Chain A
Amino acid sequence: MLAASMLFVCVLAGCVERGDYPNRPITLICPWAAGGGTDTVSRQVAALLERELGVPVNVVNATGGAGVTGHTRGALARPDGYTLMMMTVEIHMLHHRGLTNISHADFEPVALLNADATALFVPVDSPWQSLGQLEEAIRAAPGKLTASGTVDGGIWHLGLAEWLLTAGLDPSDVVWIGMNGAAPSLQELMAGGLDFVCCSLPEARSLLDGGQIRCLGVMGRDRLEPFPDVPTFQEEGYDCRMAGWRAIALPQGAPPEIARRVAHALRRVVESGEFRQFMENTGFHVDWISGEELVQALDEGDARFGRLLHSDAFQSIRRTRFGPYFFPSLLLGLFLAIGGCLLATGKLGRDPDAPAVSGQGLVRLVEIVAWVVVYLAVVEWAGFVVTATVLTLVLLLRLGTKWPAALAVSVVVVPLAYEIFAVVLRVPLPRGWLGW
């Protein structure tokens, strides 16, 4: 009897549990926004991984907090192999800056796929033809030149700091204007608002090919194939290297056989012609590091970034003149002034057209809010379809719909919504113990 009911539940849920991994959709967490470089790489990897593993691989953009949001989510996910993380170089920087406790040690690194070295760009009409000339200009007028490429303390900023330190200058000799990414920085460079920009070569490729900007050097080991004319910093006499990278990782505690399975699939993805072609065309540099070598590289990288970020030289430029509460204080002042004016003139009164609040209506309103809160509390555990059906049913009944109609609506609408969002649009709606 028990077995029969178990079987029934299983059939209902469509869950024929195959023992081998993977047997349901996988989520790949991308810590950066849709449309950016990491997102593009993530989606291409996901599409190819899907073919290797035979189950859907859905990309989720968990953005915000300069990568804190996404990396935290990846690290705290269940280590069952169904959540993969597209880890980026920022993992080495966030915890040294005290933004989170998450570090690379919270992940089971699988493979590094791509690394792009920092490069330095000036407008085509700029007087500097080489890094040496730029160094002299900085030395002659410390604190006068401005540069950007990413936010304050971002990877390209660190690249610049590394170069300045190697050249015997102070990182604060160049004013770094924090900008939200390479694209707005390059726009600012074109508009004459910056003296130079540090970012990766693929990010600046179209302006470079279009002859609008000049690249003075790249901080890689060797010259890059698509850009044979760009010298490395080493060739120019500066022994410094700095690259942003992207790697696939599992949450710490994932079973080794699953890690092996993912690594194997990734290896095949990276070796595939499509991936090579894609990376070559977009200009991203393929770099494959896995296993012990990767663990070691991550440990070394973390120590190196720690030294740089905690160094006195770098700390000295992290004091921004306008503190984080400067703008909010301005707003608060405005808010109080306007609010005060409105209060004084009596314009904050109730809208005469608005319906009066009845006791019954208020109870219903509070009830709706409460039901959504209950939904949020239960959904991760019970799954989307079950919880959402109950939520819809309860709300329909509470608003006065008759039983049969309410049941019909909720039983049709919720699974339909599930099909559209989870299956067609690839939104990983919460899965409960029933599998949906």
Chain B
Amino acid sequence: MNEHLLDAFQHVFCDPQVLLIILATSAYGVFMGAVPGLTATMAVALLIPVTFFLDPIPALAAVVTLEACAIFAGDLPNTLLRIPGTPSSAAYADDAYALTRSGRSAEALGTCLTFSVAGGLFGALVLMLFAPQLANWAREFSAPEYFWLYLFGLSCAVVVSRGSTLQAALALVIGLMLSTVGFSNSHTLARFTLGQPQLYQGVNFIPAMIGLFGVSEIFRNVLVIDARAEPPAANRVATPARGMTLFERFVARPVASVFQAALPLLWRRKLHALRSSIIGAVVGMLPGAGADIGAWVSLAASKRASKQPEQYGRGSVEGIADATAANNAALAGAWVPALVFGIPGDSVTAIVIGVLLMKNITPGPEIFREQGDLVYSIYLMFFLANLVLIPVGFAAIKIGGYVVRVPRRVLLPVILLFCVIGSYAINANAFDVGIMLAMGLLGFVLERRQIPLGPVVLGIILGGPLEERFLQTLAKSEGSLAAFFSRPMAAALGVVCLLVWIVPAVLTIVRRGK
């Protein structure tokens, strides 16, 4: 083991090519993550033809760094413009954007960066210490377990939303209904397509997310743009730059603005960060679940444990911290089943398995013995990628900071342009831009009626898998509902899931009774 670790150190740290690739892909990853519509999967897919000409370790270094940086970068547009760069940022879109509107964007992004790195490092540690054991546990997940897991994720999205449970539940059901449009994998039939072949692909969640959050916010701003002179977000730091040394002006002050609130927060909330990272790593490890469910579950746990649950959805730094730690921790988790069984945990690790096979490395339990140095190199690269994220992410935050200073009348059309390109980019399909526009209007109307948008997005994402798992379980048991509780783990998850709904209701009744 130590021998492998030593070899791995040599592969990763003593090879200028690897270090150079990590640096270059970190910038590329931050960019891809920050532009809504460009996903980490797409970024990795674009790299595939290149990776063929690289050795396995530089090739994997590129993928690992790309992933770690892209998921943090999703927080940038999420915080500054309320357009989640990745679905896992959508969990705390309202919180992060609320902070920006009160002029605290640097603090919000500093929190995202600090806790992203903390979560990422912890996730890597979990991967390193427990991969084979955890993979054996994850292997036990079958259709009913997944059904409960998805339902649990969706329930968490309802729990964390501001406003009443019923309003959030309505949002969730709207999202689930949207997910039934298009081709149903369970029935090999098209539903609700109104005879339009374009609708066969259904409502793609990326344009939907851009529309629901980003475009609806543009609409809201357009409505009142004259009424407000300039956005409060543009309040610049008032301290005069004169009389400061160059060091203070260009290093100390920018660094302090980003990290001065976040680092003490990390120390104060170290146990919360640990809990969030564990949730992220565990959920991320299950193939088919991922960073998005991880973020929502962690946010719900955070809200339950918080002394100020009413702040959630209105600019809670604690919530952002816990959710962002979880989604970064989930990344490394997805590599567990990929390395141990060759079953991809998400679309990025699906590509990774392809890359490994291309290099004549077959994932499987043997990989830990026969290719131990490679496995340890992957762990080390996860650590390194998260450390490189600190300066690169910091630079991105500083550059992103200029966005909020641009006057709204200039900014809004440019954002709209990028929303249009981003929605188009995912499938090179003009129809998706139409989806984005329609979802923008829907989001605008829903928000005016106090319906939260987060559950709608998660509903669209998980609706398809939820229905599939539901029908698969029923098909195997020939329609008996007992199948949902017939396996021990399914029963346990089912009970947890039902408690999420029952406990708050009981508590309300008890309080009213007093």
**Do A and B originate from a single complex?**
yes
Residues 320-335 of chain A, each 1 if its beta carbon lies under 8 Å from chain B, else 0: 1111111110011011
- B414 on interface, CB distance cutoff 8 Å: yes
Minimum Cβ distance to chain A for residue B171 (Å) = 10
Known A62-B428, A69-B201, A365-B219; contact A152-B188, beta-carbon cutoff 8 A: yes
* Cβ-closest chain A residue relative to B430: A376
Q: Mark B195-210, 1 if CB is under 8 A from A, else 0.
A: 0011011101000000
Q: Which residues of chain B from 211 to 260 have a CB within 8 Å of any chain A CB?
A: 218-220, 222-227
Residues of the A chain whose Cβ atoms lie less than 8 Å from the Cβ of B317: none
Over the window 401-432 of chain A, the binary record of Cβ atoms lying under 8 Å from chain B Cβ atoms (1 yes, 0 no) is 10001000100011001000100011111100
Interface mask (A352-394 → B, CB under 8 Å = 1, otherwise 0): 0011011011101100110011011001100000001001100
Closest to A414 in B: B417
Shortest C-beta distance, A397 to chain B (Å), equals 9
Contact yes or no, B164 A60, CB < 8 A: no
Residues of B near A7 (CB, < 8 A) are none
Partner of B48, one of A43, A100, A373, A391: A43
Are A65 and B476 within 8 A (Cβ)? Answer: no
With the chains together, A341 CA to B447 CA distance in Å? Answer: 18
Residue-wise interface mask of A (92-104) relative to B, using a CB-CB cutoff of 8 A (1 in contact, 0 not)? 0000010110000
Is B429 on the interface with A (CB-CB < 8 A)? yes
Residues from chain A with Cβ under 8 Å of B311 in the complex: none
Question: Is A290's beta carbon under 8 Å from chain B?
Answer: no
Closest residue of chain A to B350 (Cβ to Cβ) is A35
Q: Within 8 Å of chain B (Cβ to Cβ): is A278?
A: yes
Contact B362 A278, beta carbon cutoff 8 Å: no
* Chain B residues near A183 (CB-CB < 8 A): 287, 343-344, 350
Closest to A394 in B: B413
B400 at the interface (CB under 8 A from A): no
Establish whether residues B427 and A61, one from each chain, have CB atoms under 8 Å apart when the complex forms.
Answer: yes
B166 at the interface (CB under 8 A from A): yes
Closest A residue by C-beta to B437? A372
Specify the chain B residue showing the minimal Cβ separation from A65: B200
Q: How far is the CB of A401 from chain B (nearest CB, A)?
A: 5
Given contact pairs A178-B468, A207-B341, A328-B177, A35 touches B421 in the complex (Cβ within 8 A): no
Contacts A65-B182, A178-B472, A350-B449 given; does A210 touch B366 at CB 8 Å: yes
* Total chain B interface residues with beta-carbon distance under 8 A: 109
Q: Which of A128-136, A189-197, A230-238, A294-302 contacts B (4 or more CB under 8 A)?
A: A189-197
Picked from A60, A72, A283, A362, the residue with its CB within 8 Å of the CB of B357 is A283
How many whole Å from B342's CB to the nearest CB in chain A?
2
- Checking A207, A358, A396 against B409 with a beta-carbon cut-off of 8 angstroms, the contacting residue is A396
Q: Main SS of the interface on chain B? A: helix
Q: Chain A contacts of B201 at CB under 8 A?
A: 62-65, 69
Tell me whether B485 is interfacial, beta carbon within 8 Å. no
The answer to whether B343 touches A44 (Cβ under 8 A) is no
> Which residues of the partner chain B approach A100 to less than 8 Å between Cβ atoms?
197
Known: A183-B344, A342-B167, A425-B425. A209 touches B351 (CB 8 A): no
- Of A190, A355, A399, the residue contacting B413 (CB under 8 A) is A399
| A151 at interface by CB-CB < 8 Å | yes
Find the B residue at minimum CB distance from A202. Answer: B357
The minimal Cβ–Cβ distance linking B240 to chain A, given in whole angstroms, is 28
In the assembled complex, A242 has its CB within 8 A of some CB on chain B: no
Task: Name which residue of chain A comes closest to B412, CB basis.
Answer: A399
Asked whether B176 lies within 8 Å of A396 as measured between CB atoms, the reply is no
The answer to whether A34 touches B416, judged by C-beta atoms less than 8 angstroms apart, is: no
B223 touches A361 (CB 8 A): yes
Given the complex, which residues of B lie within 8 Å of A179, measured CB to CB?
A: 468, 472
Within the complex, which residue of B200, B343, B468 is in contact with A187, where a contact is CB–CB below 8 Å?
Answer: B343
Identify the closest chain B residue to A372 (Cβ): B437
Task: Please tell me if the beta carbons of B183 and A68 are within 8 angstroms of each other in the complex.
Answer: yes
Residue of A nearest to B440 (CB): A369
Cβ-based interface call for A111 (8 A): no
Instruction: Report the count of interface residues on A (CB-CB < 8 A).
Output: 118
> B166 to A175, Cβ gap below 8 A?
no
Whether A368 and B219, one on each chain, are in contact in the complex, defined by CB atoms closer than 8 angstroms, is yes
Interface locus among B14-22, B39-47, B74-82, B495-503:
B39-47
**Mask: chain B, 27-49; 1 = CB below 8 Å from A; 0 = not:** 00000000000100110111011
Question: Judging by beta carbons under 8 Å apart, are A281 and B49 in contact?
Answer: no
* A152/B200 in contact, CB under 8 A: no
- A351-B449 in contact given A97-B188, A328-B177 (Cβ < 8 Å): yes
- In the complex, the chain B residue whose C-beta lies closest to that of A352 is B450
**Residues 304-331 (chain A) with a chain B CB within 8 angstroms:** 320-328, 331
Q: If A355-B224, A372-B420, A391-B417 touch, does A323 touch B187 (CB 8 Å cutoff)?
A: yes
Chain B minimum-CB-distance residue to A351: B450
Rounded to whole angstroms, the CA-CA distance of A69 and B190 in the bound complex is 12
Tell me if A206 counts as interface (CB < 8 A to partner B): yes
Nearest opposing residue in chain B for A146, CB measure:
B476
Do residues B417 and A376 form an inter-chain contact, with CB atoms below 8 A?
no
A-side contacts of B170, CB under 8 Å: 335, 338-339, 342
Chain A residue with Cβ nearest B338: A206
Residue of A nearest to B433 (CB): A376
A364, B222: Cβ atoms closer than 8 Å? yes
Contacts of B38 in A (CB 8 A): 425
Q: Are B447 and A417 in contact (CB under 8 A)?
A: no
For A126, the chain B residues whose CB sits under 8 A away are none
Q: Is there a chain B Cβ closer than 8 Å to A46's Cβ?
A: yes
Measured CA separation A146–B198 after assembly (Å):
34
Shortest beta-carbon distance, B166 to chain A, in Å?
6
B173 is contacted by which of A46, A321, A331 (Cβ under 8 Å)? Answer: A331
Partner of A188, one of B142, B187, B413, B420: B142
Instruction: Assess whether A263 is interfacial by the CB under 8 Å rule.
Output: no
Contact: B185 with A400, CB < 8 Å? Answer: no
User: Which of A44, A339, A425 is B49 in contact with, Cβ under 8 Å?
Assistant: A44
Q: Are A178 and B437 interface neighbours, CB within 8 A?
A: no
CA distance A396 to B414 in the complex (A): 8
Instruction: Closest B residue to A188 by CB, please name it.
Output: B142
Q: Which of A61, A417, A427 has the most CB of B within 10 A?
A: A427
Which listed residue, B186, B197, B359, B441, touches A68 by the CB 8 Å rule?
B197
- With an 8 A cutoff between CB atoms, is A27 at the interface? yes
Is the CB of B467 closer than 8 A to any CB of chain A?
yes
A66 sits at the interface (CB 8 A):
yes
Pair B471/A327 contact, Cβ less than 8 Å: yes
CB contacts (< 8 Å) of B52 on chain A: these are 44, 47, 274, 278
B residues within 8 A CB of A281? 357-360
Q: Is the CB of B401 closer than 8 A to any CB of chain A?
A: no
Q: Which residues of B contact A351 (CB under 8 A)?
A: 447-450
Provide the bound-state CA to CA distance between A364 and B449, in Å: 21
Determine which of B141, B200, B421, B465 lies in contact with A64 in the assembled complex, contact meaning CB atoms within 8 Å. B200
**Which chain B residue shows the least CB distance to A348?**
B449
A residues less than 8 Å from B186 (CB atoms): 151-152, 178, 320, 324
Q: How far is the CA of A151 from the CA of B185 in the complex (A)?
A: 6
Interchain CA distance A212-B362 in the complex, whole Å: 13
* Of A36, A205, A355, A426, the contact of B223 (CB 8 Å cutoff): A355
A357 to B41, CA, bound (A): 40
Known contacts A97-B188, A178-B188, A350-B448, A209 near B173 by CB under 8 Å: no
Interface string of B438-481 (1 = CB under 8 A from A): 00010000011110000000000000010110111011101100
CB contacts (< 8 Å) of B218 on chain A: these are: 368
Residues of B near A256 (CB, < 8 A) are none
Q: A34-B45, A191-B142, A322-B474 are in contact. Are A40 and B351 (CB under 8 A)?
A: yes
A-B contact pairs, 16 of them (CB 8 A): A35-B41, A47-B52, A62-B201, A152-B186, A190-B341, A191-B142, A206-B353, A325-B191, A335-B170, A338-B166, A339-B170, A354-B448, A372-B433, A373-B437, A427-B424, A428-B428
Known: A72-B197, A207-B364. 16 other contacts (CB 8 A): A65-B183, A66-B183, A178-B185, A180-B468, A187-B288, A188-B142, A210-B363, A211-B364, A327-B467, A335-B177, A350-B449, A368-B218, A372-B433, A392-B417, A395-B412, A401-B409
- List the 6 closest A-B pairs by CB distance, nearest first: A206-B342, A64-B201, A210-B364, A65-B200, A47-B49, A193-B142
